[in-house]
């Protein structure tokens, strides 16, 4: 890998992570300087392009015969392409991930954080009041969202577009930079994870169908010395409820209406209560990797729990489901769509949460883009998380 793009929410730490990566790798950093290069290519002043920089395009400008923002995007596209050809460069914002497409050797990072955390960070950095920081965050968020949607479409910010999405409320910026540098250089720390705090380590793993290959969870568990609970959770729960696994599978990670969820004695209610108790008991014992079943939500207030979600591009997921489940392409696509909808509704019905929101997790990792490196990245990030205590 010789190119890193960084997409970031305002106040999520993109500038600092970019600087740390540039220094750690000895690479060129292009943030605002990329705009200067674009202006030179278009033979216009920096100020002329500055007015369009990551700004939403007005309706009036969209229908002009020669929209002024076309020169902005033209210059930016060429400047980005030339920087990628030189290599060893960190590119910040401005849709550089989308401008490069699926360029081989590029790592695409996105940083997010809850708005309240971003407001506090910007207030501290700029010596603003919280009210001033909140207004600025709202303004920049609207502008960047409008810019991204107009130029690159509604799917441009979906987690599947990136190799890694990090919630910087949970992961310190220095750890973000260190983990990405390790991926780029293929330089992994071989030490056992968190030797000094070997008890009460908990990792929850959520996954799209086809995003986590069958060997991912066992390999990760072995890599960082955790006991894996996936099918084992279902087995233990079935024993506690006194039902067969076949019967329990009918409600396992399935959405339930209000009546089913809260009707006294219903299997849905007993399932939900039992899986919650079981996960908390296993977490109290420590050194466990818990797969699915709302673990990130059920254990969200547990300080030692590290929450990871696996995603992958649809084409990769389809191919994997076809291979692992011996299905034709149409059947694989249908099964993926049904699985996504069921899990979305399960999270919504059970927790009032959006299953796909990267703020629900510490890391959202694209196993389809990263391949085997995804295991090492998660192991490295988890080790750093636990060692910080």
Least confident of 33-42, 57-66, 167-176, 329-338: 57-66
Question: Is 191-388 the same fold as 3-176?
Answer: yes
pLDDT for residue 35:
78
pLDDT for residue 195:
44
On the CB side of 244, CA atoms within 13 Å amount to: 3
Mean pLDDT of 1-8: 94
Confidence band for 62, pLDDT divided at 50, 70 and 90: low
pLDDT for residue 194:
44
Residue ranges of the domains in the chain?
3-176, 191-388
CATH superfamily, domain 3-176, is P-loop containing nucleotide triphosphate hydrolases (3.40.50.300)
Mean pLDDT of 171-200: 78
- pLDDT reading at 240 higher than 90: no
For residue 252, which of 336, 350, 322 has the smallest C-alpha distance? 350
CATH superfamily, domain 191-388, is P-loop containing nucleotide triphosphate hydrolases (3.40.50.300)
Per-residue pLDDT tens for 117-135?
999 999 999 999 999 999 9
- pLDDT reading at 248 higher than 90: no
Confidence band for 196, pLDDT divided at 50, 70 and 90: very low
pLDDT for residue 244:
67
Give the chain's mean pLDDT: 87
Helix axes 373-388, 216-224, angle to 10 degrees: 40
On the CB side of 228, CA atoms within 13 Å amount to: 15
Enter the pTM of the model.
0.92
Q: Evaluate whether 131 touches 142 at the Cβ level (below 8 Å).
A: no
- pLDDT reading at 257 higher than 90: no
DSSP string over 11-59 = TSSHHHHHHHHHHHHT-EEESHHHHHHHHHHHTS-HHHHHTTTT-PPPH
pLDDT for residue 192:
53
Q: For residue 187, count CB atoms less than 10 angstroms from its CB and return exposed for 0-12, middle for 13-18, buried for 19 or more.
A: exposed
């Amino acid at each position: 890998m010789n190119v890193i793009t960084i997409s970031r929410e305002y106040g999520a730490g993109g500038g600092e992570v970019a600087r740390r990566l540039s220094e750690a790798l000895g690479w060129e950093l292009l943030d605002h300087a990329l705009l200067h290069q674009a202006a030179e290519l278009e033979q216009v002043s920096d100020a002329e392009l500055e007015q369009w920089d990551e700004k939403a395009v007005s309706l009036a400008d969209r229908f002009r015969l020669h929209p002024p923002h076309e020169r902005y995007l033209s210059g930016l596209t060429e400047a980005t392409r030339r920087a990628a050809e030189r290599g060893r460069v960190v590119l910040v914002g401005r849709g550089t991930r989308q401008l490069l497409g699926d360029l081989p050797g590029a790592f695409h990072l996105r940083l997010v954080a809850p708005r309240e955390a971003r407001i506090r960070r910007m207030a501290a950095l700029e010596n603003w009041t919280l009210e001033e920081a909140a207004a600025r965050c709202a303004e920049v968020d609207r502008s960047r969202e409008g810019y991204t949607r107009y130029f690159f479409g509604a799917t441009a910010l979906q987690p599947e577009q990136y190799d890694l999405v990090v919630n910087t409320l949970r992961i310190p910026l220095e750890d973000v930079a260190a983990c990405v540098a390790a991926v780029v250089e293929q330089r992994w720390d071989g030490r056992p994870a968190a030797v000094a705090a070997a008890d009460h380590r908990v990792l929850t793993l959520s996954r799209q169908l086809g995003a986590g290959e069958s060997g991912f969870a066992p390999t990760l568990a072995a890599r960082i010395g955790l006991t894996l609970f996936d099918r084992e959770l279902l087995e233990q729960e079935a024993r506690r409820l006194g039902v067969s696994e076949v019967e329990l599978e009918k409600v396992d990670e399935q959405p339930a209406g209000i009546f089913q969820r809260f009707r006294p004695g219903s299997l849905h209610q007993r399932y939900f209560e039992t899986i919650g108790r079981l996960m908390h008991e296993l977490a109290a014992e420590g050194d466990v990797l818990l797969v699915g079943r709302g673990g990130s939500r059920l254990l969200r207030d547990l300080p030692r729990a590290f929450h990871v979600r696996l995603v992958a591009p649809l084409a990769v997921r389809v191919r994997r489901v076809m291979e692992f489940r011996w299905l034709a392409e149409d059947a694989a696509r249908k099964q993926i769509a049904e699985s996504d909808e069921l899990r979305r509704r399960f999270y919504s019905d059970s927790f009032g949460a959006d299953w796909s929101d990267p703020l629900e997790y510490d890391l959202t990792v694209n196993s389809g883009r990263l391949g085997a490196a995804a295991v090492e990245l998660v192991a490295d990030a988890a080790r750093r998380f636990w060692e910080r205590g």
